[in-house]
Amino acid sequence: MKKIWKIFTVLTVISALFITCTVSVFAQTGISVETSNGNISVMALNNNSVYMSDGDTFAVMRVNETKQEIKYEIVKGEEIDFLIYDKNTNKMTSSITGQSISMDDILVTDDTSSSKETSGTIIPMAVGDVVESHTFKISYAQIAALVGDSYSKYDLAYTIVAIMWVFQGVAITTIVSLIYGALKGELLNRIVDGVKNNAPGGIKITIDKVEIRKHQGGKMVKGYGYKVGTLTTYS
């Protein structure tokens, strides 16, 4: 009975999303990831909605983009929170805290070295030689300004994804799968403690641009894609 109710609830959410979502901002859909016990972890519902689940609970991330802003919503049951990125001011504002952070303060470098790191294993969604890498540092203080004092793993994932999507062309479905899947164990505990205690340091994400080759029409065709290399913490 519990399983039937979960399926009914998911189908209800999917139906509602197909009616309400209007703007397509994803580069791809149809990605799904399963946990070790078979429960769906991340699945693209349509062009601008992603379903996340830990097996017992679930949340949906929706994204709508206009010429002036990008609005990221996180839906958990009847609760809907959102982040709004203003393209003119380059700031992101949280409905939870009312606070804003500037994207100018997010550190972006090509240096992937750090003296103190805790890595999370992430499976790349693209394969090939790395031709370009960028590293993004998001402080615990910046995350705390957006999620507040009470938050879930879903809130952390969607906040990190929202910040990252401003900078990179990685498909939202791909980056949600990778980041949500990596937020577990010691790494998740370290991030939660850092945000809760306003500790120095934060998280560091490396995104690689990779070359992809495939046979097409009797020829070798070359293109490019993105992968998330590592999700780590720094201090």
Q: What is the pLDDT along the chain (235 residues), one digit of tens a residue?
A: 544 444 444 444 433 333 333 233 333 333 444 444 444 478 888 878 888 887 788 999 999 999 999 999 999 988 999 999 999 999 999 999 999 999 999 888 764 443 334 344 344 444 567 888 888 899 999 999 999 888 888 888 889 888 888 876 566 777 787 787 778 788 888 999 999 998 999 999 888 878 887 777 778 777 777 777 788 899 8
The pLDDT, as a whole number, for residue 94 is 96
Domain ranges of the chain: 2-234
The pLDDT, as a whole number, for residue 22 is 28
**d(C-alpha 47, C-alpha 45), whole Å:** 7
Comparing C-alpha atoms, which of 65, 48, 60, 80 is closest to residue 9?
Answer: 60
Q: How many residues appear in the chain?
A: 235
φ/ψ of 2, rounded to 5, equals -60, -40
pTM of the entire predicted model:
0.72
Question: Count H helices, E strands: the chain?
Answer: 5, 13
